[in-house]
Structures are given as C-alpha cells and as structure tokens.
C-alpha cells in the first residue's frame, strides 16, 4: 500500500499530501477516463480557531459587568458563529491563513442517469496530538456538550443580569454560573493552545488509506460494468484534518446531474469490525440514507452490522448538512470506537486487509442494487 507504506505521512496541506493526490489520480486513470485534480485553499489550525471562540466568552463575561444586554447579544453572535463553523460554514475561519490542498475526483457517466452516487474517502493522514488520544475518544462528545452548555449558560446569565438591572432585582447566582462556565471554556482553550504544537505525523494506514484503497477498487469495478441509470462520482478528498475542508469544498463547488443523490463515505475499513451508520452526528443525530440501508441489509449477510456513529465526526456530517441522503461504511473496534484513531501506531502491519475486500464487495452489491 503505497499511501501508508512508501510515504511517511500525508498530512493535510503538505507536499506529501500533494504527492498522494497525484498517485490516486494515476490509479483512477488506469480504468476511468474522466479524472481531475481539484485544487483549493484550506484554513489551518481549526482546533486553535475553536479555542479562540471559547476565549471570546471572556470578553462577553467582562462586558456583562457594565452592559449585560449588549454582552448577551454579542455572546449570541459568538455562539452562532461557532455553531456555523462546526457545521462547516466558514465564518471567522475566513481570516485564517490558507494553504493549498487538492481533491481527486473521478466521474463514471451513466447512459441514462436518474441520479448520482457519490463515493467518498479522505486520503490525508491525521496528526497525533494530546487532544485526540485514544483514551479521550469516548469522552469527546460529552466534553463538547459541556462546552456548548457553558456557552449557553454565559449568554443566559448575561440576559439574567440585564433583567436584574432593568427591574432592580439582582440574581446573584447568575454571575456565579457565568464565571464557573467561563472557567470551563478557558481551561479547554488553554489545553488546546498548549498542545497545538505537539503534533506527530502518522502513516494513516487505517485512517484512511484503507478507505482510499476501497474507493479505487470500487472505481475499477464500476468502470468495467457501469450502471446505466446513475452517474458515479468518486471523491478522494484532501485536508480532512482541516475540519474536512476537502469534502466541504467539493460539496459547495461541484455540480452534478439533477435527480436523487446519495453520499457514501468509506472510512477506516481495515478495522476489526465493519459497520454501516444508521444515524450520525456529534451535535445532533441525523438518520442515514434509507435506500442504502435497505440495499446493505440485503447484500452483506451480516458481514457489516448497523451502528449509530455519534462519538466522532465523519465527512457524512457535512453531506447531511447539505441535505444529501448519506451513509458511512466504516470500521470500529470492539467498543464501537474508531480504531487507531489519530495514532502513530496506525501502520500497514496493523491493517486487516480482508475487511477492506469485504467492504468493497458489500458496497459494490449495494450500489448496483440501490434504488435511485
């Protein structure tokens, strides 16, 4: 496996990522004629950006001493911008330095297309940081929920102080709750700032050279005997480590044939167990594409099991935000957490290659039979 074997890493926005993109394009062109490299610029340091939003609530809390209603309004703006960034909409990230990256897109045309199937796998490798160690993974969603609640508490306490100022009825607990919530946000921001530079490159064999391997094989098979009633777009996205910038760029700027669209994400397929998502979302839960679930249930013979994916974000989260019926085919460990997640141990020797082939066969059967 060239991506995780010969290349030392494929970290987002690096020369190595670019080399990986050109390799993927060459492999696609062995069986598909319509292949392009889609270049774009992506912001860097999204964890630091999110930490900056947490820190901004210090300004909100200080302003609440003199202008509580104005502080509450500003807090709502900061909270809204944070949620927009988390959902994939660029707000203050537009001010960050940007660096070049690229997607690789292959197109298999249907003769009489009624819809489009988008098969996706990100190809850049994660960087190992203290923020994403395996032991913290089960707690990530809870921690993020606490941080969101802390933001809401600060805004609500500002409104409470404003009400007390307007009616001469102070609410002493409001200030105590506000400063407690601020302490939580500043602690999280400090941890992110202090660990931002502690990064180690990873090989990214399972995450996500395994998904790219499956994508290439599915492209070869579907190009050999294509479906006549669907167009198929195969997308290997870059800068996934920059808050999924590659797939966000593709979804925003790429046009495809009108009709029903289905998005299928391939991720970490060399893991111990294979699953298809029934619901996804770390912030809110969205049901996966029903037609793909039905097709997979008929094709896998229990080789791939259903699972709710709520503990970490996938590219499917971004496609769902665009209103596209979506599903992830992914590998998880025995506890249904991501295996070798952001780990320096994510090497080829740890891959279960038979699982990748199982995933390819199940997905191929599903996409040949799914109703569009």
Give the pLDDT confidence score for residue 190 in this predicted structure: 95
C-alpha 43/C-alpha 49 separation (Å) is 10
Best CA proximity match to 348, nearest among 134, 216, 204: 204
CATH number of the domain encompassing residue 225: 3.40.630.10
Residues 187 and 280 placed together within one structural domain of the fold: no
Residues 361 and 325 placed together within one structural domain of the fold: yes
CA quadruple 307, 308, 311, 312: dihedral positive or negative?
positive
Give the pLDDT confidence score for residue 5 in this predicted structure: 75
Domain end residue (candidates: 154, 169, 195): 195
- pLDDT over 80 (residue 134): no
Number of domains in the chain: 2
Residues 228 and 257 placed together within one structural domain of the fold: yes
Residues 152 and 256 placed together within one structural domain of the fold: no
Residues 209 and 67 placed together within one structural domain of the fold: no
Domain end residue (candidates: 168, 195, 222): 195
- Dump pLDDT digits (tens) for 170-199: 788 889 999 999 999 999 999 999 988 888
Residues 30 and 53 placed together within one structural domain of the fold: no
Residues 56 and 122 placed together within one structural domain of the fold: no
C-alpha 243/C-alpha 44 separation (Å) is 9
Residues 297 and 362 placed together within one structural domain of the fold: yes
C-alpha 95/C-alpha 82 separation (Å) is 14
Domain end residue (candidates: 195, 218, 245): 195
Determine which of 102-106, 218-222, 322-326 has the lowest per-residue pLDDT on average.
Answer: 322-326
Residues 156 and 257 placed together within one structural domain of the fold: no
Contact 234, 28 (CB under 8 A): yes
Residues 148 and 255 placed together within one structural domain of the fold: no
Task: Please give the model's pTM, rounded to 2 decimal places.
Answer: 0.92
C-alpha 133/C-alpha 135 separation (Å) is 6
- pLDDT over 70 (residue 300): no
Residues 304 and 245 placed together within one structural domain of the fold: yes
C-alpha 252/C-alpha 42 separation (Å) is 13
- pLDDT over 70 (residue 200): yes
45 pLDDT tier (thresholds 50, 70, 90): confident
1 pLDDT tier (thresholds 50, 70, 90): low
Residues 174 and 270 placed together within one structural domain of the fold: no
301 pLDDT tier (thresholds 50, 70, 90): low
Range of the domain at 306: 2-42+98-127+199-369
- Dump pLDDT digits (tens) for 314-351: 999 999 999 999 999 999 888 788 877 788 888 887 88
């Amino acid at each position: 496996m060239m991506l995780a074997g010969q290349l030392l890493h494929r970290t987002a926005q690096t020369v190595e990522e670019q080399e990986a993109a050109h390799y993927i394009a060459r492999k696609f062109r062995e069986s598909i004629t319509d292949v392009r490299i889609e270049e774009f610029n992506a912001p860097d340091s999204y964890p630091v950006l999110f930490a900056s939003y947490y820190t901004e609530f210090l300004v909100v809390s200080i302003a609440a001493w003199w202008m509580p209603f104005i502080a509450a309004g500003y807090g709502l703006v900061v909270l809204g911008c944070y949620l927009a960034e988390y959902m994939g909409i660029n707000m203050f990230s537009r001010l960050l330095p940007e660096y070049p990256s690229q997607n690789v897109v292959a197109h298999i045309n249907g003769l009489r297309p009624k819809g489009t199937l988008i098969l996706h796998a990100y190809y850049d490798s994660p960087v190992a940081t203290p923020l994403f160690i395996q032991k913290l993974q089960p707690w990530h969603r809870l921690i993020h929920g606490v941080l969101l609640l802390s933001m809401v508490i600060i805004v609500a306490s500002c409104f409470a102080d404003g009400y007390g100022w307007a009616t001469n009825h102070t609410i002493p607990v409001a200030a105590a709750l506000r400063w407690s919530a601020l302490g939580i946000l500043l602690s999280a921001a400090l941890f992110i700032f202090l660990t931002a530079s502690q990064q180690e490159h990873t090989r990214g064999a399972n995450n996500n050279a395994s998904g790219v391997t499956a994508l290439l094989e599915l492209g070869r098979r579907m190009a050999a005997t294509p479906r006549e009633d669907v167009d198929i777009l195969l997308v290997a996205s870059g800068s996934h480590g920059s808050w999924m910038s590659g797939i966000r760029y593709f979804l925003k700027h790429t046009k495809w044939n009108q009709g029903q669209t289905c998005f299928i994400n391939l991720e970490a397929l060399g893991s111990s167990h294979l699953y298809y998502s029934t619901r996804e979302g770390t912030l809110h839960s969205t049901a996966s594409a029903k037609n793909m679930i039905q097709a997979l249930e008929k094709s896998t013979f229990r080789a791939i099991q259903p699972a709710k994916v709520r503990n970490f974000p996938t590219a499917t989260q971004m496609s769902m935000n665009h209103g596209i019926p979506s599903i992830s085919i992914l590998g998880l460990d025995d506890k249904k957490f991501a295996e070798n997640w952001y780990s320096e141990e994510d090497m080829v020797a740890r891959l279960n290659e038979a699982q990748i082939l199982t995933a390819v066969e199940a997905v191929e059967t599903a996409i040949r039979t799914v109703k569009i």
